[in-house]
Amino acid sequence: MPAEPSVQIPLPAEDVFAILADGWLYGLWVVGATHIRKVDPGWPDTGSRIHHSVGGWPLTRNDTTEVLVVDAPHRLELGARLWPAGAARIRLNLIERRPDLTEVRMVERVYQGPGRLLPGVAQDLVLVPRNRESLRRLTALAVGRAATGMT
C-alpha cells in the first residue's frame, strides 16, 4: 500500500477544495511546478488540463497535468507527467473531520515510463517528501487566503 501523507487544515472541505479548483494557484502549492502557462476552461472538470513548466531555470520543461477524476469537494485525481521518470497518478482525498477541519491525504504512484519499474517503497522515498511539502504549502495557502477573506 502506498504511503499517504496527510495534513489537517482548519477549514471546511469546500474552502480547501477551492484552492485545488483554481488552476492558477497550482504552481504555488505543487512542488516542482514553476510557471502556469494556461488553465483549460472548466478546470477541474474531468479531462481539463493545466499547462505548466517544471524544474528550475534554465532547465525548465513544458508539461501538463490532467484531471482524471473529480468528486468536489471530496476527491481529485490527477495525471501528471514526470519527465524523465514517466507519468504518475496523484489522488487527493479531502475528509471533513468537523465542519471547520479537513484532513487532506495525498498519494502518488508512477504508472508509466521507467519510474514504474521502481518498487512502491522506492517510489515513496522520492515522492512522499515532495508530497508532504506540497501539502504544507496547500495548508499555508488555504489558511492564508481564509485569513484575508479570499476564500
How far, in Å, are 20, 40, 67, 126 from residue 43 at the CA level? 9, 6, 8, 28
**What is the reported pLDDT for 115?**
76
Q: Which domains does the chain have, with CATH numbers?
A: 6-147 (3.30.530.20)
Segment 15-25 mean pLDDT? 97
Q: Give the contacts of 100 (CB within 8 A, at least 6 positions apart).
A: 10, 11, 12
pLDDT value at residue 1: 62
Q: CA separation (Å) from 45 to 35, 71, 78?
A: 21, 9, 11
C-alpha cell at 67: 484531471
Q: What angle, 0 to 180 degrees and rounded to 10, lies between the N-to-C axes of helices 13-20 and 120-147?
A: 110
DSSP tag of 114: G
Radius of gyration over every alpha carbon of the chain, rounded to an integer in angstroms: 15
pLDDT tens for each residue of 58-100? 888 899 999 999 999 999 999 998 767 689 999 999 999 999 9
Residue 97: predicted pLDDT: 97
pLDDT digits (tens, 9 = 90+) for 110-120: 888 877 778 78
Phi first, then psi: what are they for 100, rounded to 5°? Answer: -115, 20
Query: CA 27, 30, 33, 36 torsion: positive or negative?
Result: negative
Model confidence, pTM:
0.92
pLDDT of residue 70: 98
